[in-house]
Amino acid sequence: MSREPVSIALVQTSCGENPAGNLEKACQKIRQAAASGAGIICLQELFTTRYFCQTEAYEPFGYAEPVPGPSTDLLQALARELEVVIVASLFEKRARGLYHNTAAVIDADGSYLGKYRKMHIPDDPGFYEKFYFTPGDLGYRVFDTRYARIGVLICWDQWYPEAARLTALRGAEILFYPTAIGWAAEEHSEDVRRAQQQAWKTMQLSHAVANGVFVAAANRVGVEGDLEFWGNSFVCDPFGQVIAEAAHQDETVLMAGCDCSRIDFYRAHWPFLRDRRIETYGDLQKRFIEE
């Protein structure tokens, strides 16, 4: 595994009604990122479709596909051609009546390295994911790619420090978060919008600091139904400093450089992993601690 700095790219786009068109757009953006020097390219959550989880309906199950399957076959060929690593979030059909929100990881030689299934599944107005997705059962995973050892978590996972910690403890150097998050279209207060977005960002910056890793979040843009996706894909270093950030409304390929050899420096200066009192954390397995 190379110790040279790696250039990563986050693809931030809107999505249309046609899954084939969305896949083609993603492939074009991957080519653009590769031409700009990216070694690892992360697509946004469920990039082949509009965000169908705003309602509970049966028709969207028709979008699901096996992983690996048709989309990963196409992306594997593209990764092999361009010599890039691709992180792709897809609606996985595991079996009849069993579906997951899944990220596939493809190495720069086109090999399929495996998948991560989203562990934390929300059920809120406009985000009815429990209707569609079974919680992941593969655990928190890392993938040794040509350019870096990476971990992948998905959207709602980004609010849980336990997920980031366990992925980092497995050796992840960069945490990628394919994401689909936005404001309710009826929410017009700029103060509320700003607070919501800042909370989302702060949470992920804290994962970088606490674990001494790079964090990269790829969000979508555009208005879909009652949601306005807020974009603002970003990459931060292990000190929580944002090194690249996209606008909230623009389609873009966001580029950033990550020098993973510097993780030793960050962790030596802030030795949070050294000072953990693991023998005191057993109660984290409880839902709530009753006095």
Active-site amino acid positions: 45, 118, 155
Helix crossing, 161-169 with 190-211: angle to 10°?
30
Helix crossing, 70-82 with 19-35: angle to 10°?
20
If DSSP codes are grouped into helix, strand and coil, which group holds residue 73? helix
If DSSP codes are grouped into helix, strand and coil, which group holds residue 157? helix
Provide φ and ψ at 139, rounded to 5°: 75, -170
Distances (CA, A) of 109 to 25, 81, 205: 22, 8, 31
Strands of 182-184's sheet in order across: 182-184, 227-230, 221-224
